Structure 1
Amino acid sequence: MPMIRKLTALAVALGALCAAPPLLAKDAPSIVTVVKITGENWFTRMNEGVVAYGRDNPGVTTSEIGPAKADAAQQGRLIEDLVARNVSAIAVVPMDPSAIEGVLKRAMDRGIKVVTHEGDSLKNTLVDIEAFDNTAFGAHFNEQLAQCMGKSGKWTSFVGSLGSLTHVQWADGGAENAKKYPQMQLVSPKNESFNDANRAYEKAREILRKYPDIKGFQGGSAIDVIGIGRAVEEAGLSGKVCVIGLGLPKDTSKYLESGTVQSISFWDPKDAGYIMNKVAQMLLEGKQVTDGMDLGVPGYNKVSVKKGPGKGIIVTGQAWVDVNKSNYRQYPF
């Protein structure tokens, strides 16, 4: 009887082993999105797109991480950790593209697929995704500012940091546009806020003291208009000084309502998060993004493709949205 019990137990064990999934089954490919900073509403909204892509595509796992403050070195260390973990793909919104070239090269050398956003100067990326032409976007901000200012007077520009490539491109695009108006004078350009509304506020107060006759501010970081708007409002200059720039409707609603901020423009970070992960999965599956392709996301329905500065490509959409007091409620973020 003991022998029969042993044989029966062995048969049950073998049956269970055969019914179990293979122990060596490969895990689902992992796509990790690395943003400039966690906790900022822009990247909280982007995470919605990252999560949505993973939900819609159970064949991959998706997640978003970022440093606690906008710091290129901290962001680089997070990417280094992902390389050590040998994740399948990394999607990055770089704080400073030049600061992460080395770690992205190491990622690609290990076979990790690299997708970037707001980094069209990067050599070590397979695909950089831009929501639109950045110089044109900066010129668009400035044209609105010029009209608000009556095409004359002093104005200034803000950036998240001088290393934030797209912010600098927008500031430069604005400066180039302003050359059309000889009576517009750019002063103290490219003030760094480091994606911090309080820093933008302090810098705006400093500029208002230095240039009491200033007529316009062009914001670059998504929170610049919040800090600038606060400074302008406290100075009693709402409606007298023009404030235009990147922003999100919920963040800026108070100042749009009061007329302190005349308008904001943006692209939906949720869509950007989704599209980065979609392109990353395409790369994992050996697929290519081609000129004129419809990627199935608003603003990226007919993308343009050109060669990047390295071996990769730059994919550009048409995704910007303009918002003012009359229509900001249409966008629930």
Structure 2
Amino acid sequence: MKKIVLIIVIVLVLLPLHLFAGGQKDAADANKYEIVTVVKITGIPWFNRLEEGVDAAAKDLDVNAYQIGPSDADPAQQVKMVEDLISKGVDAICITPNDATALEPVFQKAKEKGILILTHESPDQAGKDVDIELIDNVEFGRHTWDMLVKYMGDKGQYAIFVGGLTVPLHNLWADEGLKYAKEHYPGLELVTSRIPCGEDQELAKQKTLELLKTYPDLKGIIGFGSLGPPGAAQALKEKGLAGKVAVVGNVIPGHAAPYLKDGSMSHGVLWDPKDAGYSLTYVAKYLLDGGSLADLKEIPGIGAVVVDGDVIKVDAMADITKENVDSFGF
């Protein structure tokens, strides 16, 4: 009997200590910044890679950082997710917009709540605190046209794929590239207005098949949106036209490798999305800690930065070819 009483006493003494320790751990977690990245669409290789950067930053910086995104590239779903995060009271929202204009009202709500807004691939976004770009966007657009001409020549018909007609950066690249082509490659003929299919590989394949049928002399496709070029490459393989129509654009190396190696895709251009995920989270914490944007000189592990107003630029553009595609590691 005495033994039972002793056990009960020990349990009663230790239980509060255990609860106190658990409470302390929960409190410590609660004191961490909550930094959420909202991507354009979840579950595709590009944004899976970006999430690796978010997760790495969460560990390195000891913050509660994570990624969410809609099941398809739907601006309304993104807006709803931001509204939910505002209601939750997170510290910072990092976002790659599907539609810059659609997000402006919820960004205003976030600012009224004291929530930081960081964008990626949307340098002209209204309502942001800061935008982070891993490339010079004007140079990226021009370089993509240079690569198209390298593989198809400076005369002939071509088409442009974008993720969506409201996706800020894809359309900026297209705008810059078209201006550049008008001056430097007047022999290029754009067969139709830009086609929104770059976030859906199957749709890009179908659009390419339609283009080939309507424009049998088509010589090139530029794909903005990482699933556009692979979709186009699939269509060319299906029609036995691999290498006959040039396909260039931004892709994930591991995803593009088979198409580059068999010649159905000509050339890829990108930056590492993991670096973007890490950079967004790093800069969010830097600003939450009271850091000055003007004083930011580098992002550890990513590189030196240039601050231009409320836009942070990192020079990380990379070319992807059949010769180097296996060297990227993702």
TM-score normalised by structure 2 residue count:
0.91
1:322 aligns with 2:309: no
Provide the rounded CA distance (Å) in 2 between the counterparts of 1:61 and 1:281.
10
* Percent of aligned pairs with the same amino acid: 38
SS class of match (1:69)? coil
1:38 aligns with 2:42: yes
**Aligned pair in 2 of structure 1 residues 13, 172: CA closer, same or farther (>3 Å)?**
same
**In the TM superposition, what is the alpha-carbon distance from 1:297 to its structure 2 partner?**
3.2
Q: Greater shift after overlay, 170-179 or 123-132?
A: 170-179
Among 97, 108, 123, the alignment partner of 1:105 is 108
- Give per-residue Cα distances to partners, 1:257-286, cap 9 Å, x unaligned: 111111101111111000000000011101
1:126 aligns with 2:123: no
**Amino acid of the structure 2 residue aligned with 1:304:** V
Among 216, 227, 250, the alignment partner of 1:212 is 216
**Amino acid of the structure 2 residue aligned with 1:146:** V
**In the TM superposition, what is the alpha-carbon distance from 1:292 to its structure 2 partner?**
7.2
Provide the rounded CA distance (Å) in 1 between the counterparts of 2:18 and 2:122.
49
Report how many residues are paired. Answer: 318
Among 76, 82, 86, the alignment partner of 1:83 is 86
Among 171, 175, 181, the alignment partner of 1:172 is 175
Find the counterpart in structure 2 of residue 304 from structure 1.
306
**Amino acid of the structure 1 residue aligned with 2:243:** G
SS class of match (2:316)? coil
Provide the rounded CA distance (Å) in 2 between the counterparts of 1:194 and 1:259.
20
Find the counterpart in structure 2 of residue 260 from structure 1.
264
Find the counterpart in structure 2 of residue 95 from structure 1.
98
Find the counterpart in structure 2 of residue 310 from structure 1.
none
1:163 aligns with 2:166: yes
Find the counterpart in structure 2 of residue 289 from structure 1.
293
Provide the rounded CA distance (Å) in 2 between the counterparts of 1:14 and 1:192.
60
SS class of match (2:90)? coil
SS class of match (1:75)? helix
User: Which has a greater percent of helix?
Assistant: 2
Find the counterpart in structure 1 of residue 275 from structure 2.
271
- Give per-residue Cα distances to partners, 1:190-212, cap 9 Å, x unaligned: 11005101111111111111110
Provide the rounded CA distance (Å) in 2 between the counterparts of 1:125 and 1:286.
17
Provide the rounded CA distance (Å) in 1 between the counterparts of 2:87 and 2:44.
27
Task: Determine if contact 2:135/2:317 at 8 Å carries over to the other structure.
Answer: yes
Find the counterpart in structure 1 of residue 3 from structure 2.
none
Provide the rounded CA distance (Å) in 2 between the counterparts of 1:19 and 1:171.
58
**Aligned pair in 2 of structure 1 residues 230, 13: CA closer, same or farther (>3 Å)?**
closer
**In the TM superposition, what is the alpha-carbon distance from 1:44 to its structure 2 partner?**
0.5
Task: Determine if contact 2:271/2:318 at 8 Å carries over to the other structure.
Answer: yes
**Structure 2 unaligned spans of 5+:** 1-5
**Amino acid of the structure 1 residue aligned with 2:329:** P
**Structure 1 unaligned spans of 5+:** 308-312
Provide the rounded CA distance (Å) in 2 between the counterparts of 1:16 and 1:241.
70
Task: Determine if contact 1:159/1:190 at 8 Å carries over to the other structure.
Answer: yes
SS class of match (1:52)? helix
**Aligned pair in 2 of structure 1 residues 12, 266: CA closer, same or farther (>3 Å)?**
same
**In the TM superposition, what is the alpha-carbon distance from 1:16 to its structure 2 partner?**
4.3
**Aligned pair in 2 of structure 1 residues 16, 126: CA closer, same or farther (>3 Å)?**
same
SS class of match (1:116)? strand
Provide the rounded CA distance (Å) in 1 between the counterparts of 2:200 and 2:242.
21
**Aligned pair in 2 of structure 1 residues 13, 288: CA closer, same or farther (>3 Å)?**
same
**Aligned pair in 2 of structure 1 residues 14, 234: CA closer, same or farther (>3 Å)?**
closer
Task: Determine if contact 2:41/2:47 at 8 Å carries over to the other structure.
Answer: yes
**Aligned pair in 2 of structure 1 residues 13, 96: CA closer, same or farther (>3 Å)?**
same
**Amino acid of the structure 2 residue aligned with 1:40:** I
Provide the rounded CA distance (Å) in 2 between the counterparts of 1:95 and 1:168.
11
Task: Determine if contact 1:291/1:304 at 8 Å carries over to the other structure.
Answer: no
- Give per-residue Cα distances to partners, 1:84-118, cap 9 Å, x unaligned: 00011111111111111111111111011111101
SS class of match (1:138)? helix
**In the TM superposition, what is the alpha-carbon distance from 1:27 to its structure 2 partner?**
2.6
CA-based RMSD of the aligned residues comes to 2.2
Provide the rounded CA distance (Å) in 2 between the counterparts of 1:149 and 1:14.
74
TM-score normalised by structure 1 residue count:
0.90
**In the TM superposition, what is the alpha-carbon distance from 1:55 to its structure 2 partner?**
1.0
